[in-house]
Chains A and B, each alone.
Chain A
């Protein structure tokens, strides 16, 4: 325990960490706003392009069949989006969205690192490692 004598103060006063934490939280909030705005913009552009050409197409997703493999891996999604493929742009926006929680965890890790809050550095690092493993798509069974 960092503090062997827990404070006997009976009133729930805000802990000292709060004001320090607040600056970090404001930046964290900005990061999430930027990430979601960016992804929403890409998604909406993709949807607009898609509907422009295909709004009358009949879609049937009642059975699962694999779509083009290029839509299942980040690198090919990106290159296909660059060639203005509407579905790939939509998928790119979705991918950006998936990356926002990752960016968020990475940001908290750095923020705790800067403040030498080692306990939380370790905790955030574990989350980030597991998260990255999951994203890379390691099959665990």
Chain B
């Protein structure tokens, strides 16, 4: 493939990945890696490095808008980040002692299950729910932009629940992402949505806020190993930034149900990609 064509194709794919990644809080790597490997014939090691860059681009690109508009719960993000980065270290340490294939197969089954449950939203907690003590201690309760029934924008308050459980799951998410390389965003959204009972848009935007940090933590190692190839990573970065800005414009307008559907589709893609890598011996 000529350089001009490859750069153009990578740029265009990254726009789509950045768009979907910003909306769902997943970063878009799960879309990009199969495209790069299967369609463009790029070695998995380059693809993984470039997808890491796409995740950072999507995260930083969209977060500016999401924070300003009040979707992102920055305190929840900072608090949960500490658990994911510690989990990532633990994962890197135990990686030498466990079977990645087995973990990947189990995890991909968990992904299919979570795609299924995401489409079945939990009933919102009644607004008079008693405040959670841990959440009060960390001052996590907040509000986010919604539309009132007559269509005017308003802020809706919400409470945050089950913080210790979510921290434990975040540790697990860090370990998993260090072991199998994908899926940390999925676990984040899932924990915030199902366990902490955050509004779905708060869950996806707060996950989007966090994944950049998770990805940046391992970027140094990938750079050192030569997996960040500029001819691939640069157009991916530019495209993902552009796509994430479009995603940030769309998020306030999109219905939560459609967001959940898009999320479920990407989660299924991630599960398939994991299984594909196991079968090809690429774990």
- Interface residue ranges, A against B (CB under 8 Å): 1-3, 6-7, 9-15, 17-18, 21-22, 24-26, 28-30, 32-33, 35-36, 39-40, 43-44, 46-47, 50-51, 54-64, 66-67, 69, 71-74, 87-88, 90-91, 93-95, 97-102, 104-105, 108, 119-120, 123-124, 126-127, 130-131, 134-141
Contacts and interface: CB of A to CB of B under 8 A. Distances in A.
Contacts of B159: 12
B60 A130 contact: no
Give the interface residue-count category, chain B.
35 or more
B51 to A, nearest CB: 13
B195 interface: no
A12 B60 CA distance: 30
Interface of B: 1-4, 6-7, 40-43, 45-46, 53, 56-57, 59-61, 63-65, 67-68, 70, 72, 74-75, 78-79, 81-82, 85-86, 88-89, 92-93, 95-96, 127-131, 133, 136-139, 141-143, 155, 157-159, 212-213, 215-221, 223-235, 237-238, 241
Contact of A58 (B1, B142, B221): B1
- Chain B binding site: helix, strand, loop or mixed by DSSP? helix
Given A12-B128, A28-B74, A141-B92, 13 more contacts: A2-B137, A12-B158, A43-B238, A44-B238, A50-B231, A56-B2, A63-B43, A71-B226, A91-B228, A104-B213, A123-B81, A131-B85, A140-B93
A46 B234 contact: yes
Given A51-B4, A134-B219, A1 B133 contact: yes
A72 B223 contact: yes
Nearest to B209: A104
Contact of A94 (B3, B65, B78, B237): B237
Contacts of B67: 25, 28-29, 32
- Chain A binding site: helix, strand, loop or mixed by DSSP? helix
Given A61-B232, A134-B220, A6 B128 contact: no
Contact of B226 (A11, A14, A44, A67): A67
Contacts of B233: 90-91, 94
B60 A141 contact: no
A136 B4 CA distance: 33
Contact of B230 (A10, A28, A58, A94): A94
Of B57, B95, B127, chain A has the most CB atoms within 10 Å of the CB of B57
9 contacts: A2-B137, A12-B158, A66-B226, A73-B223, A97-B237, A98-B56, A98-B223, A101-B60, A127-B85
A79 B138 CA distance: 44
Nearest to B69: A29
A3 B1 contact: no
Contacts of B86: 126, 130
A98 B45 contact: no
B231 A87 contact: yes
Nearest to B134: A1
Contacts of A66: 226
Nearest to A54: B3
Nearest to A28: B67
Given A36-B241, A58-B2, A102-B216, A47 B7 contact: yes
A14 B78 contact: no
Contacts of A140: 89, 92-93
